[in-house]
């Protein structure tokens, strides 16, 4: 990673999610849930028991707990999938938002 890549990543404010994230995939059509970790302006990191494929497009939904704020809904592309060393049946997934609704 170049210095510029690192700096660009740090230009986005990151927020801890620590909660359920609803994921919808299209092929095959299915819905599952993951645990949100970090949310930024450009993407999201998750922990999931379900494996996804790099390059796959997912619909992401995070429920708002404030009735005055809409749920967060976005389309995202999977950019990284890594098994968790201590729990190889679980995966750390990073996605990049392609569209935020």
- CA 57 to chain CA centroid, nearest Å: 11
In this structure, CATH architecture of domain 13-100 = Beta Barrel (2.40)
Per-residue model confidence as pLDDT tens digits over 32-44:
999 999 998 899 9
Split at pLDDT 50, 70, 90, the class of 10 is: low
Helices (H), the chain: 3-10
Residue 1 pLDDT more than 70?
no
Name the residue ranges covered by the structural domains of the chain. 13-100
- pLDDT of the residue at 11: 56
User: Span 24-53, mean pLDDT?
Assistant: 93
pTM of the complete model: 0.81
Handedness of CA 22, 23, 26, 31 (dihedral sign): negative
Per-residue model confidence as pLDDT tens digits over 57-92:
999 999 988 899 999 999 999 999 999 999 989 999
- pLDDT of the residue at 65: 86
């Amino acid at each position: 990673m170049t210095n510029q890549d690192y700096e660009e990543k740090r230009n986005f404010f990151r927020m801890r999610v620590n909660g359920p994230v609803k994921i919808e995939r299209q092929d095959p059509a299915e819905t599952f849930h993951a645990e949100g970790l970090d949310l930024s302006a450009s993407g999201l990191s998750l922990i999931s028991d379900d494996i996804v494929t790099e390059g796959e497009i997912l619909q992401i939904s995070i429920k708002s707990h404030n009735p005055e704020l809409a749920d967060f809904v976005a389309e995202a592309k999977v950019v990284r999938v890594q098994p968790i060393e201590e729990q190889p049946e679980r995966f750390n997934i990073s996605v990049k938002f392609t569209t935020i609704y």
